[in-house]
Amino acid sequence: MKYITVATMALTLGACSAHLPSTQISALDEVRTAIQQARDAGAEQCAPEELASAEASSMQAAHELSENSAYDDEQAAMLIDDALAASQTALEKCNKKAKPKPVIKPKPVPKVKPVVQTAPKPEVIELSGVFFENNSAKLTGASTETLNQVVVILKKRKDIKVEVAAHTDSGGKASYNAYLSGLRAEAVRNYLVEKGIAANRLTAKGYGEAHPIADNATREGRAKNRRVELIVQ
Amino acid sequence: MKKLMILTFAITCFAVNANAASIEDRAATMKSNLKGDESYHAHMARALSDVAEDEKGHREVAVARAFMDEAEKHMQLAMEK
């Protein structure tokens, strides 16, 4: 009988030592901090799936901890690990995706000549980071980030109207390039309208290969020529 | 007395099944509504409905319902956008 009592006590103590709610509660705080960091890095936009997974796991972990049993604490520990991993992935994804903001070229100061007056060049907002799928007007997922920054700019500068100008390199037929660039300009315009920019502030035009800014003979040059710009009207 | 016990047992079984089906149905409807939506709220809704189904699997129907309610709130937010 004595042996049984000792064995029972040992088992009970063993179970209690495995059951460490305070440690797990602090782990839960750690998860919440990690989630907040991912959120601050913009994870709702750049890693929504990972952020959601982290939040759902942390909520379930909190529930399991409230259940007050060794099995539930084990479950909670696993969920906490999942949540930490997911929020870490979200943070990394957002840091990788962080790209320089679209470059806004300053308005050139019009040069005043004594006899011939030249019109000032229009302000051009270069959309570096807007890409399409090959031979298509479908925007890649990464492009939406750049375009979302453009939406912010256009919402701040409510007084401007812009032309979405799409350009291609010289590969392929000129007529096809003109057609494709038109579709791409329209796709960008549609995205901006969808995000709340008034349609009457935006026009779209495809210039095809007509206005290269670099040498089409080199790969780098062709990459520079395939571009989308916003021309302030 | 025996008949009463059988009746009580049958009603309990029916109630448990009805709750389980309800969580599954709500999850299925939600996933169908959010098909193709990759927004944060859509992902939240899907993740929470997975948790709800998981909890239902552990026979925690009240908890499953609470998670599903939360999932549906996110679904509304996703669909409003």
Please give the backbone phi and psi of residue B62, each rounded to the nearest 5 degrees, phi first. Answer: -65, -40
Give the integer Cα–Cα distance in Å for A185 and A166.
5
CB contact under 8 A, A60 and B39: no
Which residue pairs, CB below 8 angstroms and at least 24 apart, start in A13-17? A15/A70
pLDDT higher than 60, residue A42: yes
pLDDT higher than 70, residue A104: no
Q: How many CB pairs under 8 A join A and B?
A: 37
CB contact under 8 A, A52 and B39: no
Judged by average pLDDT, the poorest of A88-102, A169-183, B38-52, B64-78 is A88-102
Sort residue A59 into left (φ over 0), alpha (ψ -120 to 50) or beta: alpha
Chain A: residue nearest B50 by CA? A56
Give the integer Cα–Cα distance in Å for A80 and A65.
10
**Number of domains comprising chain A:** 2
Q: What local confidence, expressed as pLDDT, does residue A53 receive?
A: 93
Residue A203, H or E segment: strand A202-208
pTM (two decimals): 0.46
- Final residue before a domain boundary, out of A80, A97, A114: A97
Residues 6 or more apart from B77 whose CB is under 8 A from it? B41
From the list B43, B50, B63, the residue facing A49 with the nearest CB is B43
Sort residue A42 into left (φ over 0), alpha (ψ -120 to 50) or beta: left
- Residues A162-170, mean pLDDT to the nearest whole number: 90
pLDDT higher than 90, residue A103: no
The answer to the question of residue A145 being in a domain is: yes
Q: What local confidence, expressed as pLDDT, does residue A12 receive?
A: 42
Residues A130 and A227 in one domain: yes
User: Which has more pLDDT, A4 or A62?
Assistant: A62
Give the integer Cα–Cα distance in Å for A84 and A80.
6
pLDDT higher than 70, residue A17: no
Helices A48-66 & A70-97 angle (0-180, nearest 10): 160
Give the integer Cα–Cα distance in Å for A200 and A203.
8
* Structural contact between residues A150 and A164, judged by C-beta atoms closer than 8 angstroms: no
Where residue A160 sits, what CATH number does that domain have?
3.30.1330.60
CB contact under 8 A, A56 and B44: yes
- Final residue before a domain boundary, out of A62, A97, A132: A97
* Structural contact between residues A6 and A18, judged by C-beta atoms closer than 8 angstroms: no
Q: What local confidence, expressed as pLDDT, does residue B6 receive?
A: 63
Q: What local confidence, expressed as pLDDT, does residue A107 receive?
A: 63
Q: What is the overall mean pLDDT for chain A? A: 80
- pLDDT single digits (tens) A106-148: 666 555 455 455 566 778 887 877 888 777 888 888 788 888 8
* Structural contact between residues A177 and A137, judged by C-beta atoms closer than 8 angstroms: no
Q: What local confidence, expressed as pLDDT, does residue A174 receive?
A: 84
B20 at interface of A, judged by CB pairs closer than 8 A = no
pLDDT higher than 50, residue A68: yes
Residues A89 and A172 in one domain: no
Question: Nearest-5° angle of CA B72, CA B75, CA B81?
Answer: 150
B79 at interface of A, judged by CB pairs closer than 8 A = no
Q: What local confidence, expressed as pLDDT, does residue A22 receive?
A: 59
Question: Nearest-5° angle of CA A77, CA A79, CA A84?
Answer: 95
Give the integer Cα–Cα distance in Å for B51 and B57.
10
Residues A92 and A136 in one domain: no
Residues 6 or more apart from A161 whose CB is under 8 A from it? A200, A201, A202, A203, A232, A233
pLDDT per residue as tens, chain B (81 positions)? 666 666 665 555 445 444 445 899 999 999 999 999 999 999 999 999 999 998 888 888 899 999 999 999 999 999 987
Q: How far from A35 is each of A30, A65, A87, A179, CA to CA, in Å?
A: 9, 18, 5, 45
Q: What local confidence, expressed as pLDDT, does residue B50 receive?
A: 92
Boundaries of every domain in chain B: 2-80
A53 at interface of B, judged by CB pairs closer than 8 A = yes
For CA atoms A179, A180, A185, A188, the dihedral sign is: positive
Residues A29 and A82 in one domain: yes
ipTM of the complex: 0.75
The answer to the question of residue A109 being in a domain is: no
Domain around A10: 2-97
The answer to the question of residue A114 being in a domain is: no
Alpha helix (H) residue ranges in B34-60: 40-57
Chain B: residue nearest A90 by CA? B40
Give the integer Cα–Cα distance in Å for A35 and B47.
15
Q: What local confidence, expressed as pLDDT, does residue A175 receive?
A: 84
